[in-house]
Chains A and B, each alone.
Chain A
Amino acid sequence: MNGHPQPEEAASALAAIRRQQEQVIDAVLVPAWYWPAVGAAMVAIGAAVDSHRTVVLAVVIPVAVVALVAMTGAMIFGAYRGAQVGSQLLSERGAVYIVGFVWLVVGLTLGCAFGLRAAGTPWPATIATALGGVALASGGPWLMRRLRAIMLRNRAGGTR
C-alpha cells in the first residue's frame, strides 16, 4: 500500500467525489422555469386552435412550436447548461420515468381535448392544454426529484 492514502484521507476523497457529482447532477437537471414555460407554449397552441382564426394560427403555432423545440432540444442536448448528463447515471429506470411522464401528459391532453370536443364543450383545446400545462408544471419538478434520486444512486460510490 505504499503511497496509498490513510483511511481518513480515502474517506475524505470519496466524500469529495460524492459532493462534486451531486453538484453536477443539480447543475444539469432541468431548471424549474422549463415546465411552466412549456405548459404556457402548449396553452398558446390550444388557444390558437380554438380561435379558428387563420392569422392567429399562422403566427402563434409556429412561434410556440419553435419555442418548444428550442427549449426541449437545449434541455436534451445540454446546450443550456454546458454539459449533458451521463446515460449511465440516468439508467433505464430514469428513461422509463421520462418516457412515462411524457406519455402521461400527452395522453391526458389529447384525451381531454377529444373528450371535450365530443361533448361539445367550448374551447376544448384550450382547456385540455391548460390541464396538460398544469400536469407539466406540477409533475415536472416531481420528475426531476425522482431523476435526481436515481442519478445519486448511480453515481460513483453511490448505493448501487
Chain B
Amino acid sequence: MSPSRFDELIHAPTRLAIVSLLAAVEWADFKFIRDEVHLSDSALSKQLTTLEEAGYVEIRKSFVGKRPRTSARLSQTGRAAFDLHVAALQEIVARSGATIRPS
C-alpha cells in the first residue's frame, strides 16, 4: 500500500483547487491561478500566503519590463503533501468500495 496522509490544510476546497492546479504545472502566474479557480485577488493572495507559510508554495515576484509579475509554484514539500493527500482520499474511497465519478 502506498503511503498516505490526510492534510487538513490542503483539503479546504479553495486551497484544494489551488494546489491541484499548481500540481499540474511547473509554475503559474497569479492571474492565471485567479482566473482558473475563480477567486478575487485578495482571496487568492490570502490563500497563497497560508500555503506559503506552510512551506507548500513558493511565490516569486519579478518584473516583465516595468510590469510586476507574481508567480507561484508548488514546493517539493507541497507536492509531497498533495500526493499523500490524494493517496489518503483514494484510500478512504477504496475502503468504502465507492467509486469516483469520471470527470
Interface residues of A (CB under 8 A from B): 1, 3-8, 10-11, 13-25, 27-28, 78, 81-87, 89, 151, 155-157
Check B86 for interface membership: any CB of A closer than 8 A: yes
Query: Whole-angstrom distance between the alpha carbons of A41 and B9 in the complex?
Result: 49
Query: Whole-angstrom distance between the alpha carbons of A28 and B83 in the complex?
Result: 21
Q: Is the CB of A85 within 8 A of B11?
A: no
Contact of B11 among A8, A13, A20, A21 (CB under 8 A): A13
- A1: which B residues are within 8 A, CB to CB? 92
Contact of A84 among B11, B27, B99 (CB under 8 A): B27
Question: Taking the nearest CB of chain B, how far is it from the CB of A42, in angstroms?
Answer: 29
Contact of A21 among B8, B23, B90 (CB under 8 A): B23
Q: Is the CB of B24 within 8 A of A155?
A: yes
Interface residues of A: mostly helix, strand, loop or mixed?
helix
Interface string of B72-97 (1 = CB under 8 A from A): 00000000001100101110110110
Q: Is the CB of B92 within 8 A of A7?
A: yes
Q: How many A-B residue pairs have CB under 8 A?
A: 112
Q: Is the CB of B17 within 8 A of A16?
A: yes
Question: Taking the nearest CB of chain A, how far is it from the CB of B60, in angstroms?
Answer: 13
Total contacting residues, chain B, CB less than 8 A: 34
- A20: which B residues are within 8 A, CB to CB? 16-17, 20-21, 24, 36-37
A5-B89, A28-B25 given; name 6 further pairs at CB < 8 Å: A4-B88, A5-B11, A10-B93, A11-B89, A85-B25, A86-B25
Q: Is the CB of A11 within 8 A of B86?
A: no
Q: Is the CB of B8 within 8 A of A3?
A: yes
Query: Whole-angstrom distance between the alpha carbons of A6 and B95 in the complex?
Result: 11
